Chains A and B, each alone.
Chain A
């Protein structure tokens, strides 16, 4: 059979006009940081420096919080809700108008395939603003009392895996509920949030309603520990989430946390295997596995383990790793050298602890940070690769014999963010879904997201929900 190779199909990056440097977005304008500090953000696929970005220190955070407070007291908190709604609708519309620009920028700064930034991140971000815009003037009927009030100023710290989408998840419900925001993007992916700041200028959002302070962990700590916040929302690692919970102990600041995961993806013997294979691939290799809800533990019923793994390996061999801007790329670059090191180290622990590594033949580009799709079989529950969040394209395969055993193994983790179930039998799916201690259960699908659908974890995966009516609670005095 002739083999037809793919021709390169790169998306043009000309649509993105990068500035050499970016300031902090405070009180409606880009401003220089007090101490003039900057850091570089790079393209993880090429290691090329994309821009220099201001690093916010405590004085800058203070200025941003003060601007947010003024905007809350003076404008946003007292605006007619229907007017707030229209600002958010405008944001949604401009995101749609500039969708391609955002998609290319996101892939440049993050390393994710353009297919994903174009088809998932950006449309969902716009949808999120559109969804919550509609809530702004309907809060009385949201089920949090007859006169729910905004909390005030929200400090929001987001991760690098879905930079724009996480900004939307944080800002849209907060603003709809009448709060003002200080957002801290991740240090490796600040650019789409800064482009979003330009969008906020285009829609004439009043100054100070959203402030964006870029920087690394120190900036995040300064923001979270700032005494002037009424609300903190964090998405990121469980370790940092615990630190934030400790920081806010004894205060009146409301907190929601969306933390790590180690999701089980359970395949029963009556599952549609071809669909399951697609779901497993989407579950762990979507966004290079940089997904807190990734289906990183495959639990497959013993009787179908062999045929399933055979099909899974065949499928993995067809995945295309490379240029994130190429429209045919399935797996992009790992976001940073530090993350690549962590993935490499955890995968090595899999080898050392006796699991069996399998990787398809997969040439890696010379420059940039890459990790091939990886499968470990012979994994036991005590292995680090079965317990720790890898946040990379590494799948650990375990087996089970009975549904009870599947549930026990799936729940044998301090995390509880998500899980998957594959079976053609409805009663078995519902039985399993009911017993899984996880905030999101995907049955015969995986990694689906929607602004109307509440998302968030059990146990050490955090508390509070984002999305849907439930997502409003985090930003109201409910």
Chain B
């Protein structure tokens, strides 16, 4: 018997800056890669999805209206807090993904660095995605990227923290808000990451994290009329077609499910940010 009984954490959802249980009252057992009990996670419902979309929509105006410099600092702050909790994440990732501690530590370090990488993009993405356009007439004509809106993200199933950070950061750095479905079997690092966001000046509702059955939650997001885009990364192979069809109902932007899981440790490129940006072109006459 240990001298002292540990105080275990209750893992809940992260919605609108708060940590509610599922309104359904459901939970499901999370085990380590070896089958050891780790925790009970909340099993989110359709209603939780809708609440999360409402939270994300509510947060959009302020987050997208913040200065890019501010968003960059907020995400950098999240990287600082993530780094500060390094040991905790190494434990969780090691248990969740069945990695040894060195390997898990490398993954957590990469997640911190990934967040820093994306934080730096906030005030630069407009300079690679925007333009001044030489039109044939007396007009000042320029194009600027703007966030698409509320983005649903089906996070990678196998990479519980690094994969998660790698798909969420590019969505929110440009001003989108996100509803994220965490890895179904390894959701605990995602909820702990929610604690990082909640304590690092990321406004409530900018990132909302749901745990539960991807197959149950994904169709609700794909067909939701107030979701503007969806990243299908974590969808089951056989589900992608149905999800894309549902997404067409309000012409969602779809980042398709990849054929193979990428190497999340590899250097990223800007394409995940660009997938969730709109281009606005403004014309104004020039004259006296």
- Residues of A whose CB lies within 8 Å of any CB of B are 127, 143, 238, 241-243, 245-246, 248-250, 252, 257, 259, 414, 429, 433, 436, 438-445, 448, 450, 452-456, 458-463, 465, 468-470, 478
Contact among A127, A450, A462 with B141 in the assembled complex (CB-CB below 8 Å):
A450
User: How distant is the Cα of A244 from the Cα of B137 in the complex, in angstroms?
Assistant: 36
- Beyond A259-B251, A470-B143, whether A456 also contacts B279 by CB under 8 A is yes
Q: How far is the CB of B174 from chain A (nearest CB, A)?
A: 14
User: How distant is the Cα of A139 from the Cα of B4 in the complex, in angstroms?
Assistant: 65
- Beyond A450-B135, A454-B143, A469-B131, whether A462 also contacts B251 by CB under 8 A is yes
- Beyond A250-B244, A448-B139, A454-B143, whether A439 also contacts B250 by CB under 8 A is no
CB-CB under 8 A from A460, the residues of chain B are 250-251
Q: Are B241 and A250 in contact (CB under 8 A)?
A: yes
- Beyond A242-B251, A468-B143, A470-B143, whether A454 also contacts B136 by CB under 8 A is no
Residue of A nearest to B61 (CB): A435
Residue-wise, chain B 216-257 has the 8 Å CB interface mask toward A (1 for contact) of: 000000000000100000000000111111011111010010
Q: Are A445 and B134 in contact (CB under 8 A)?
A: no
Chain A CB count within 10 A is highest, among B242, B245, B281, for: B281
CB-CB under 8 A from B249, the residues of chain A are 242
Q: Are B280 and A249 in contact (CB under 8 A)?
A: no
Residue of B nearest to A436 (CB): B280
CB-CB under 8 A from A458, the residues of chain B are 148, 278, 280
Q: Does B9 belong to the interface (CB within 8 Å)?
A: no
CB-CB under 8 A from A241, the residues of chain B are 251
- Residues of B whose CB lies within 8 Å of any CB of A are 128, 131, 133-137, 139, 141, 143, 148, 228, 240-245, 247-251, 253, 256, 271, 278-285
Q: Are A453 and B133 in contact (CB under 8 A)?
A: yes
Q: Are B128 and A143 in contact (CB under 8 A)?
A: yes
Can you list 6 residue pairs at the A/B interface with Cβ under 8 Å? A127-B136, A250-B240, A452-B136, A453-B133, A453-B141, A459-B251
Q: Are A249 and B244 in contact (CB under 8 A)?
A: yes
Q: How far is the CB of B131 from chain A (nearest CB, A)?
A: 6
Q: Are B283 and A442 in contact (CB under 8 A)?
A: yes
Q: Are B279 and A443 in contact (CB under 8 A)?
A: no
Contact among A242, A438, A441, A463 with B283 in the assembled complex (CB-CB below 8 Å):
A441
- Beyond A127-B136, A143-B128, A455-B281, whether A249 also contacts B245 by CB under 8 A is yes
Q: Are A249 and B248 in contact (CB under 8 A)?
A: yes
Contact among B248, B279, B283 with A245 in the assembled complex (CB-CB below 8 Å):
B248
Apart from the given pairs A460-B251, A468-B143, 4 other A-B contacts in the complex at a CB distance below 8 Å: A246-B245, A439-B280, A452-B134, A454-B143
Q: Are A454 and B281 in contact (CB under 8 A)?
A: yes
Q: Are B131 and A465 in contact (CB under 8 A)?
A: no
Q: Are B241 and A453 in contact (CB under 8 A)?
A: no
Q: Are B135 and A453 in contact (CB under 8 A)?
A: yes
User: How distant is the Cα of A205 from the Cα of B256 in the complex, in angstroms?
Assistant: 35
Residue of A nearest to B225 (CB): A414
How many residue pairs between the two chains, A and B, have CB atoms under 8 Å in the bound complex? 110
Chain A CB count within 10 A is highest, among B137, B244, B250, B279, for: B279
Contact among A248, A259, A448, A456 with B137 in the assembled complex (CB-CB below 8 Å):
A448
CB-CB under 8 A from B139, the residues of chain A are 445, 448
Q: How far is the CB of B18 from chain A (nearest CB, A)?
A: 28
Q: How far is the CB of A439 from chain B (nearest CB, A)?
A: 6
CB-CB under 8 A from A439, the residues of chain B are 278-281
User: How distant is the Cα of A478 from the Cα of B128 in the complex, in angstroms?
Assistant: 14
CB-CB under 8 A from B271, the residues of chain A are 478
Q: Is the interface of B mostly helix, strand, loop or mixed?
A: mixed
Residue of B nearest to A447 (CB): B283
CB-CB under 8 A from B244, the residues of chain A are 245-246, 248-250
Q: How far is the CB of B218 from chain A (nearest CB, A)?
A: 14
CB-CB under 8 A from B135, the residues of chain A are 448, 450, 452-453
Contact among A252, A450, A453, A463 with B251 in the assembled complex (CB-CB below 8 Å):
A463
Residue of A nearest to B239 (CB): A250
Q: Are A450 and B133 in contact (CB under 8 A)?
A: yes
User: How distant is the Cα of A127 from the Cα of B136 in the complex, in angstroms?
Assistant: 10
- Beyond A249-B244, A470-B143, whether A453 also contacts B281 by CB under 8 A is yes
CB-CB under 8 A from A478, the residues of chain B are 271
Among all A-B residue pairs, the 7 with the closest Cβ atoms:
A250-B241, A249-B244, A245-B248, A450-B135, A249-B245, A443-B284, A452-B133
Q: How far is the CB of A416 from chain B (nearest CB, A)?
A: 8
Contact among A249, A438, A463 with B253 in the assembled complex (CB-CB below 8 Å):
A463
User: How distant is the Cα of A444 from the Cα of B285 in the complex, in angstroms?
Assistant: 7
- Beyond A249-B245, A439-B278, A454-B279, whether A459 also contacts B284 by CB under 8 A is no
CB-CB under 8 A from A127, the residues of chain B are 136
User: How distant is the Cα of A454 from the Cα of B283 in the complex, in angstroms?
Assistant: 11
Q: Are A453 and B283 in contact (CB under 8 A)?
A: yes
CB-CB under 8 A from A462, the residues of chain B are 251
User: How distant is the Cα of A444 from the Cα of B141 in the complex, in angstroms?
Assistant: 12
Q: Are A445 and B253 in contact (CB under 8 A)?
A: no
CB-CB under 8 A from A444, the residues of chain B are 284-285
Q: How far is the CB of A464 from chain B (nearest CB, A)?
A: 9
CB-CB under 8 A from B248, the residues of chain A are 242-243, 245-246, 249
Q: Are A441 and B281 in contact (CB under 8 A)?
A: yes
User: How distant is the Cα of A461 from the Cα of B141 in the complex, in angstroms?
Assistant: 21
User: How distant is the Cα of A460 from the Cα of B248 in the complex, in angstroms?
Assistant: 9
Q: How far is the CB of A231 from chain B (nearest CB, A)?
A: 14
CB-CB under 8 A from A414, the residues of chain B are 250
Residue of A nearest to B142 (CB): A453
User: How distant is the Cα of A36 from the Cα of B134 in the complex, in angstroms?
Assistant: 47
Q: How far is the CB of B276 from chain A (nearest CB, A)?
A: 11
User: How distant is the Cα of A241 from the Cα of B248 in the complex, in angstroms?
Assistant: 9
User: How distant is the Cα of A436 from the Cα of B282 in the complex, in angstroms?
Assistant: 11
Q: Are A445 and B251 in contact (CB under 8 A)?
A: no
User: How distant is the Cα of A448 from the Cα of B284 in the complex, in angstroms?
Assistant: 10
Q: How far is the CB of B256 from chain A (nearest CB, A)?
A: 8
Residue of B nearest to A415 (CB): B251
Q: Are B241 and A249 in contact (CB under 8 A)?
A: yes
CB-CB under 8 A from A470, the residues of chain B are 131, 143, 279
User: How distant is the Cα of A268 from the Cα of B144 in the complex, in angstroms?
Assistant: 24
CB-CB under 8 A from B240, the residues of chain A are 249-250
Q: How far is the CB of B236 from chain A (nearest CB, A)?
A: 12
Q: Are B251 and A443 in contact (CB under 8 A)?
A: no
Residue of A nearest to B141 (CB): A453
User: How distant is the Cα of A250 from the Cα of B256 in the complex, in angstroms?
Assistant: 8
- Beyond A440-B281, A453-B281, A465-B279, whether A245 also contacts B247 by CB under 8 A is yes
User: How distant is the Cα of A461 from the Cα of B252 in the complex, in angstroms?
Assistant: 10
Chain A CB count within 10 A is highest, among B135, B137, B148, B247, for: B135
